[in-house]
Amino acid sequence: MIEVQEITKQYGDKVVLDRVGMQFNKGKITSLIGGNGAGKSTLLSVISRLLSQDGGVVLVDEKNVTEYKSKMLAQRLSILKQSNHVRLKLTVRELVSFGRFPYSQEKLTKEDNKMVDRAIDFLNLKEIEHSYLDELSGGQKQRAYMAMVVAQDTEYILLDEPLNNLDMKHSVQTMKIMRKLADELGKTIIIVLHDINFASHYSDYIVALKNGKIIYHDTTENIIREDVLKDVFDINIKICEFDSKRICNYF
Amino acid sequence: MRIAVLSIILLLLAVVSLFVGVADITVADIISWDIEKISLISISRIPRTAALILAGVGMSISGVIMQQMTQNKFVSPTTAGTLEAAKMGLLIFFIFTPNAGMTLKMLSAFLFTFFASMIFLAIVRKIKHRNVVFVPLVGLMFGGIIGSVSTFFAVQLNIVQDSNAWMMGDFSGILQGRYELIYLTLPAILITYFYANKFTVIGMGEEFSKNLGLNYNSIMNIGLFCVSLTVSSVVITAGAIPFLGLIIPNVVSLIFGDNLKKTLPLIALSGAVFLLICDILGRVVIYPYEVPIGVTVSVFGSIIFLFLLIWRKR
For residue B311, pLDDT over 80 is answered with no
- What is the pLDDT averaged over residues B135-151? 93
- What is the pLDDT averaged over residues B6-11? 94
Whether B193 contacts B264, CB under 8 Å: yes
pLDDT for B161: 84
Residue of chain B whose Cα is closest to the Cα of A70? B213
pLDDT for B269: 96
Task: Tell which CATH classification among 1.10.260.40, 1.10.3470.10, 3.40.50.300, 3.20.20.70 matches the domain B2-313.
Answer: 1.10.3470.10
Of B196, B207, B215, the CB nearest to A50: B207
Q: Do A78 and B205 touch (CB under 8 A)?
A: no
Q: Which residues of A touch B207 (CB under 8 A)?
A: 50, 79, 81, 83-84
Higher pLDDT, B131 or B184: B184
Residue by residue, pLDDT tens for chain A (251 residues) are 899 999 999 998 889 999 999 999 899 999 999 988 889 999 999 999 999 999 999 999 999 999 999 899 999 999 998 765 788 999 999 999 999 999 998 889 999 999 999 999 999 999 999 999 988 988 889 899 999 999 999 999 999 998 887 889 889 988 999 999 999 999 999 999 989 999 999 999 999 999 999 999 999 989 998 889 988 998 888 888 888 788 888 88
pLDDT for B177: 82
Question: How many angstroms separate the CA atoms of A144 and A147, rounded?
Answer: 5
pLDDT for A29: 95
Cα–chain-centroid distance for residue B158? 28
* Measured CA distances, B255 to A155, B220, B271 (Å): 37, 26, 15
pLDDT tens by residue, A71-120: 999 999 999 987 657 889 999 999 999 999 999 988 899 999 999 999 99
- How many other C-beta atoms lie within 10 A of the C-beta of residue B212? 24
pLDDT tens by residue, B104-139: 889 999 999 999 999 999 998 888 666 778 888 999
- What is the pLDDT averaged over residues B264-274? 96
DSSP code at position B183: G
Q: Largest Cα–Cα distance of chain A, in whole Å?
A: 55
- How many other C-beta atoms lie within 10 A of the C-beta of residue B313? 8
Q: Do B212 and A94 touch (CB under 8 A)?
A: no
pLDDT for B12: 94
For residue B299, pLDDT over 70 is answered with yes
A59: enclosing H helix or E strand: strand A55-60
- What is the pLDDT averaged over residues B50-74? 94
Q: Which residues of B touch A96 (CB under 8 A)?
A: none
- Interface contact B130, partner A, CB < 8 A: no
Residue of chain A whose Cα is closest to the Cα of B314? A134
For residue B179, pLDDT over 80 is answered with yes
Give the model's confidence band at B220: pLDDT under 50 very low, under 70 low, under 90 confident, else very high.
Answer: very high
Mutation pick from A46, A89, A129, A153 vs chain B, by most beta carbons of B within 10 Å, is A89
pLDDT for A159: 94
Q: Do A84 and B205 touch (CB under 8 A)?
A: yes
pLDDT for B130: 66
Mean pLDDT check: name the lowest of A169-183, B38-52, B300-314: B300-314
| pTM beyond 0.80 | yes
pLDDT tens by residue, B163-172: 888 888 888 8
- Interface contact B191, partner A, CB < 8 A: no
Distance (Å) from the alpha carbon of B49 to chain A's nearest alpha carbon: 32
pLDDT for B305: 80
For residue B314, pLDDT over 70 is answered with no
**In sequence order, what DSSP letters do the residues of A218-241 get, joined into one string?**
EEHHHHSSHHHHHHHHSS--EEEE
- Interface contact B257, partner A, CB < 8 A: yes
- How many other C-beta atoms lie within 10 A of the C-beta of residue A55? 12
Burial class of residue B7 (count of CB atoms within 10 Å of its CB; 0-12, 13-18, 19+): middle
**In sequence order, what DSSP letters do the residues of B295-311 get, joined into one string?**
HHHHHHHHHHHHHHHHH
Whether B23 contacts B282, CB under 8 Å: no
pLDDT for A157: 95
What interface predicted TM-score (ipTM) does this complex get? 0.88
Of B194, B215, B257, the CB nearest to A89: B257
For residue B63, pLDDT over 90 is answered with yes
- What is the pLDDT averaged over residues B13-27? 83
pLDDT for A154: 95
Please report the residues numbered 134 through 173 in chain A whose beta carbons come closer than 8 angstroms to any beta carbon of chain B: 152
**In sequence order, what DSSP letters do the residues of A104-172 get, joined into one string?**
HTTS--HHHHHHHHHHHHHTT-GGGTTSBGGGS-HHHHHHHHHHHHHHHT-SEEEEESTTTT--HHHHH
pLDDT for A47: 94
DSSP code at position A33: E
